[in-house]
Structure 1
């Protein structure tokens, strides 16, 4: 694993000084031009989420901030206010201009993001992805929340348990070009066909990262398919959206929903039965792992097959062939355990 041209001259002194002094500045806006921390030798790690302001990415930000405090680097966080690839690209360009040390992106559109990651790498910035990959790019690592197969199968199994293993269901996804969502849907289609032959996916629609739009689309799906008995919300905005649609329609117990929702957002739906389960992972831990991975990349440390990241985050697997760090298996949130989480 190589050290970037820019980091090579400052990282050893900068990280050591930061660890000794325990100083760390956390900001939720990018620094002004020239504010990458090179003046004081502090390592800067920037993260550009798909969308800023939703609970999921704010929880990732919290985890990144915690890593910054404990490991001694500056964590920069900014994303677009809508899930727009062009707006996200503008923020990436801003971080390139600021000459940050490490740049993580959760791309809305992996293909259009790839040239920008190349531009950042050419400028000596270490580039990586987290939450969502851009596999056909120069990114040095992908920090993955859970395996694609594990997520797709867990979503399907949870819904089929609620539906009794048969029936028709539809998927309300978010961004049409989101690589992670599309990969999970591929698994759901294959796994449903092979393991639940009496079940059928009748439609897949896209709501962007808009919860209200997800509710509207789910309502339309139930109207267009009177025999529909299941809905999947494929991201943290559509999971509560589809549950809200079932509640609004007065069809709790007739149409079952599962999705990828944050625990607190899903808790009322899990409690009233409009959602049967939420499949996710420890989002704050994903943010922490992202920050930790950035330090390893900047220092030129090789990832091991298994990595002990912190006292509470151990055994994180690394696949050298795909350059992927895997947080771990997905977590199933229900009415019984969702209240144990504060995001």
Structure 2
């Protein structure tokens, strides 16, 4: 694939030096192949909500794989806590470096929107992945799965364990995370429509911290003695709620599901503390993000159905919403979760 030269070698070298000096930033090794040597021609940066957790590290692995195969430089850096201001500082740094394409999974979509405008004004292609900022100038949102698919699958999996009725609570992460809030809204609607004998009693927010999620889940069980379900709506709260049930000795009495990475959920799935982990192929989401960045840089656009790779032969794109959809969610169980290494 031919990559257009947008920034000069001097700027690319300066950007690379700055990234290497920032100890927590990763990039693909340009010496791995002839294609990767073209990395100075195109630089795609990804700023996750939080760096260092398995979920976003798996996305980084997928993005680096795309860089190796398609021939571009992949930059990855996020805040060490799920902090919107810290994330904004990293976005500003990439704008100053003059990257070609900038992807962000925003902690606070509204506060990030002006920065995305600033990046676009500087000639940078801007997009979101994993989490959207729909009221911004982003050119595409690389979406892991539809909100309806995620929310309904969470509820259906939990209700199967709970026998279709009972009270449950939700432990989310960031209170302003657009994707998490959209899934919770779907859960409310689907619960009311499909399971009239069930009820959501509370929604709490633990940030991106597993220990806090465990503490909050424990408090919820104490506040609602008749609680029979807990949902962790992010990859730190999913193991968090399962740990709370384990600590309380209530496996088989309070059922949990959540959006957890397979590796983190294996012990809980095997013990019965979790009845199912709903997610998607996170490395594939990172790969799709890198591929989409190349399409933006080349002004190639997106087809209604896109062959991204042999592993992603039919990725759908909705032109009206500018959403590139990875596919339906997956349900990880004790039988299949151990097959994944993230």
- Taking structure 1 as the reference length, the TM-score comes to 0.90
- Contact preservation (8 Å) 1:28, 1:78: no
CA distance in 1, matches of 2:264, 2:52: 13
Residue 281 (structure 1) aligns with: 280
- Contact preservation (8 Å) 1:305, 1:318: yes
CA distance in 2, matches of 1:295, 1:32: 26
- Contact preservation (8 Å) 2:39, 2:73: no
Question: What is the Cα deviation at residue 151 of structure 1?
Answer: 0.2
CA distance in 1, matches of 2:5, 2:213: 49
Residue 20 (structure 1) aligns with: none
Residue 340 (structure 1) aligns with: 339
Superposition map of 1:91-106 within 5 A: 91-106=90-105
Aligned pair 1:12/2:4, yes or no?
Answer: yes
Residue 308 (structure 2) aligns with: 309
Residue 3 (structure 1) aligns with: none
CA distance in 1, matches of 2:39, 2:169: 53
Residue 54 (structure 2) aligns with: 55
CA distance in 2, matches of 1:294, 1:258: 33
Question: What is the Cα deviation at residue 312 of structure 1?
Answer: 1.0
Question: What is the Cα deviation at residue 11 of structure 1?
Answer: 4.5
Residue 223 (structure 1) aligns with: 222
Question: What is the Cα deviation at residue 339 of structure 1?
Answer: 0.5
State the superposition RMSD in angstroms: 2.0
- Contact preservation (8 Å) 1:233, 1:259: yes
- Taking structure 2 as the reference length, the TM-score comes to 0.91
SS at structure 2 position matched to 1:30? helix
- Contact preservation (8 Å) 1:317, 1:327: yes
Gaps of 5+ in 2: 8-15, 31-37
Question: What is the Cα deviation at residue 12 of structure 1?
Answer: 2.5
Structure 1 stretches (4+) deviating beyond 6 angstroms?
none
Residue 30 (structure 1) aligns with: 19
How many aligned positions are there?
320
Gaps of 5+ in 1: 1-9, 16-26
CA distance in 2, matches of 1:32, 1:262: 30
SS at structure 2 position matched to 1:12? coil
CA distance in 1, matches of 2:57, 2:137: 26
Aligned pair 1:44/2:43, yes or no?
Answer: yes
Residue 120 (structure 2) aligns with: 121
CA distance in 2, matches of 1:29, 1:200: 51
SS at structure 2 position matched to 1:317? strand
Deviations 1:36-64 (A, max 9, x none): 99x98520000000000000000000000
